[in-house]
């Protein structure tokens, strides 16, 4: 079974692809969908096209995405939710089942600390998977989402 975990963003959208076989999991790919465009509609279209291409190529059965986090700015939260919605739409079109986890839940599952900073999530993603380089923050968040989900299967 293939799982794609997505960390949506309007600048970069991180993703991680895991293959699950008999209780073992392997990350087969990770990366970023680069978002281009001047205004929000153009950026959302770029996210949708990139994620849809990824789904057509990989054909995931499950998609994991982070629950919304309001944080500092309500405006940023609304923009992020628009990006999430585009990713969820692509998942629905591909008939993949969507799972959501709260940011603190993901951080706690991966680092043991629900308030862990991004750098620690990056470190744990690198160490847990034996990666040569520390993944970019958006990719590390997607990896953490996938690990959180895989540990619950």
**Measured between alpha carbons, how far is 10 from 36 in angstroms, rounded to an integer?**
9
What CA–CA distance (Å, rounded) separates 133 from 111?
18
Is residue 29 part of the annotated active site? The answer reads no
- Indicate which residue of 7, 42, 52, 141 is catalytic: 7
Q: Which of 66, 76, 133, 141 is catalytic?
A: 66
Q: Going edge to edge, which strands form the sheet with 62-66?
A: 24-34, 12-21, 2-7, 62-66, 97-101
Active-site residue, 7 included:
yes
Active-site choice (52, 76, 138, 141):
138
Residues in the chain: 153
Structure tokens at 148: 């959180």
Active site includes 76? no
The contacts of residue 114 (CB under 8 Å, 6+ apart) are 104, 105, 107, 108
Query: How far is residue 114 from each of residues 44, 49, 57, 88, 103, measured CA to CA in Å?
Result: 29, 32, 33, 25, 8
Which residues are known catalytic residues?
Answer: 7, 66, 138
């Amino acid at each position: 079974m293939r799982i794609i975990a997505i960390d949506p963003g309007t600048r970069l959208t991180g993703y991680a692809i895991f293959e699950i076989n008999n209780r073992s999991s392997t990350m087969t790919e990770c990366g970023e969908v680069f978002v281009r465009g001047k205004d929000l509609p153009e950026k959302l279209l770029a996210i949708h096209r990139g994620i849809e291409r990824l789904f057509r190529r990989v054909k995931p059965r499950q998609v994991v995405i982070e629950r919304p986090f309001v944080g500092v700015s309500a405006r940023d939260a609304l923009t992020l939710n628009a990006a999430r919605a585009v990713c969820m739409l692509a998942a629905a079109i591909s008939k993949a089942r969507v799972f959501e986890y709260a940011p603190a839940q993901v951080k706690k599952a991966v680092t043991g600390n629900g308030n862990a900073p991004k750098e620690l999530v990056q470190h744990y993603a690198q160490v847990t998977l034996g990666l040569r380089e520390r993944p970019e923050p958006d990719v590390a968040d997607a990896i953490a989402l996938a690990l959180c989900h895989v540990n619950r299967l």
